[in-house]
Amino acid sequence: MKLSLSVRVGESFENKEKSSLSIDQLIDMAKRHGYEALCMRASQVGVHSSGERITEVAAKIRAAGFAVSMITGDFAVPRNDEHGPGLLRNIESYLDLAEAFGATLIRVCMKTEEDIEWARRASDTAAERRIRLAHQSHTSSIFETVDGSLRVLEAVGRQNFGLIYEPANWMIAGEDYGPAAIRRLAPHIFNVYVQNHAVRPEGKATQATWKLGNVAIDHIGLWQGGGVDSPAVFRALKEIGYDGYVTVHQAFQGVMSEEDAVRKSAEFLRRQF
């Protein structure tokens, strides 16, 4: 497994459009703590960015010796709102962005059954450029449950369309996210996101779900107990032979020091690998 750092670490949980860290700061931080790749999001560069900005940032990442594990090309996809599936209807600009970064994976968003056919079409277009598409196991989407995710993956039915396995969202939705789910979804896991939350009635934040309504949570570090059973998750990922990227995907702004969180996350994950 390979260690990737999402630029989300500089975003707040509520606002995904702005970052407290520059790309230079993120690159330096990732280098100090032994990451191998960056996961890019629109808070740094997206399809809205100028060609000059895209070229500049891509050059900095390459010069630092990093790969780009995945791109999330706009704000609607991570907001997971009704505009999120729009990229499936206009995939070309996202493919261009991925190619500029040398990335072969793009995160997508699906909200309704209608999006399945668009996912097929977008996957076919992406396949012509040897790029894959993946949907995160995310609340308030048609990937909110394990059964629902498997059904949609099979309905899309494209080899270059898969899953970003992220256990915390399934935990919040009351799903069994652990070894049994990982074994069922093994052929479809293209990427792994990790973040951690504790589900508590007095939690300071809330996460909306279709299954359980608004769920109260607290944001905690990967290395802290009371959230995702990470050792069980990583044992199962090893069992299925997963050797792709594991991306620290947590927003730490306003929760704890980004530097400490990035360092502690890397140390914790290396022990799991």
The mean pLDDT value for 20-49 works out to 96
Banded model confidence at residue 251, pLDDT cuts 50, 70, 90: confident
Q: What is the per-residue pLDDT for 166?
A: 98
Q: CA 258, 262, 267, 272: dihedral to nearest 10 degrees?
A: 120
Q: Is residue 153 within 8 Å of residue 190, measured between CB atoms?
A: no
- Mean pLDDT of the chain, nearest integer: 96
Q: What is the per-residue pLDDT for 193?
A: 98
Q: How far apart are CA 68 and CA 138, in angstroms?
A: 22
- CATH code of 2-272, in short, is 3.20.20.150
Q: How far apart are CA 206 and CA 204, in angstroms?
A: 7
Residue whose token pair is 């040897």: 130
Q: How far apart are CA 151 and CA 124, in angstroms?
A: 19
User: How many whole angstroms from its chain centre is CA 74?
Assistant: 13
pLDDT at position 13 over 90? no
pLDDT at position 12 over 80? no
Q: Is residue 188 within 8 Å of residue 163, measured between CB atoms?
A: yes
Q: How far apart are CA 210 and CA 169, in angstroms?
A: 12
Banded model confidence at residue 201, pLDDT cuts 50, 70, 90: very high
pLDDT at position 10 over 90? no
pLDDT at position 198 over 80? yes
H helices within 33-113, ranges in order?
51-63, 76-79, 92-100
Which residue(s) pair with 194 in the sheet?
248
Q: What is the per-residue pLDDT for 131?
A: 98
Q: Where are the domains of the chain?
A: 2-272
Residue whose token pair is 């502690």: 264
Query: Helix, strand, coil proportions of the chain in percent (round to 5)?
Result: 40, 20, 40
Q: Which two tokens stand for residue 121?
A: 């079409």
The mean pLDDT value for 151-177 works out to 98
Q: 32: how many CB neighbours lie within 10 A of its CB?
A: 12
Banded model confidence at residue 20, pLDDT cuts 50, 70, 90: confident
Residue whose token pair is 């979804």: 185
Lowest mean per-residue pLDDT among 7-16, 29-38, 105-114, 263-272: 7-16
Within 8 A by CB and 6+ apart from 253, the residues are 9, 10, 11, 12, 13, 19, 20
Closest Cα to residue 134, out of 74, 72, 89, 176?
72
Q: What is the per-residue pLDDT for 184?
A: 97
The mean pLDDT value for 175-186 works out to 98
Closest Cα to residue 254, out of 200, 229, 223, 218?
218
Banded model confidence at residue 181, pLDDT cuts 50, 70, 90: very high
Of 256 and 71, the one with more pLDDT: 71
Q: How far apart are CA 163 and CA 228, in angstroms?
A: 18
Q: 141: how many CB neighbours lie within 10 A of its CB?
A: 24
pLDDT at position 15 over 80? no
Residues 105-124: tens digit of each pLDDT: 999 999 999 999 999 999 99
Helix, coil or strand: residue 188 = helix
